[in-house]
Amino acid sequence: MTYKGVVKGNVVELEKGMQLPKGMAVEVVVKEQTAEPLAPSGHPKGSPQAILAALDTLPHCTAADVDALIKVIEDGTQPVRFNGVFAREG
C-alpha cells in the first residue's frame, strides 16, 4: 500500500485522514519535487484534495468584513412586490 505525505524536519506528515499504527516499520522512497505550486494544505493548488481542505477551513473574516457584506446586501435589496403580474384585479 502507498501513502503520500510531506517531510517536515525529521517527521513525515501523511495526508489528512491517513494513520499508521504506532511503531510500524516503514520504508520511505524519496521522489523529486514536482514543479506544482502547493496550497497552504500542502496539496497541489487546484487539486481535489486542496479544494476539500479549503472547504474544511473556516474563513478569516473580521467584524469589518461582515459589516461590509451586510451593507452590500442591504444596498442591493429590492422592494418586495406583493401583486404579481397575473394578479386578479377586482
What is the DSSP code string of 3-16? --EEEETTEEEEPT
Q: How many CA atoms lie within 13 A of 90 on its CB side?
A: 3
CB 68, CB 59: distance < 8 Å: no
pLDDT at 88 over 80: no
Q: Is the pTM of this model over 0.95?
A: no
- Domain ranges across the chain: 5-31+38-75
Phi, psi of 12 (to 5 degrees): -100, 115
Look at residue 73 and give its three-state secondary structure.
Answer: helix
pLDDT level of residue 59 (50, 70, 90 thresholds): confident
pLDDT per residue as tens digits for the range 44-54? 888 898 899 88
pLDDT per residue as tens digits for the range 2-45? 888 888 888 888 888 788 888 888 888 887 766 778 888 888 88
**51: number of Cβ within 10 Å:** 14
pLDDT per residue as tens digits for the range 62-80? 999 999 999 999 999 888 8
pLDDT at 72: 94
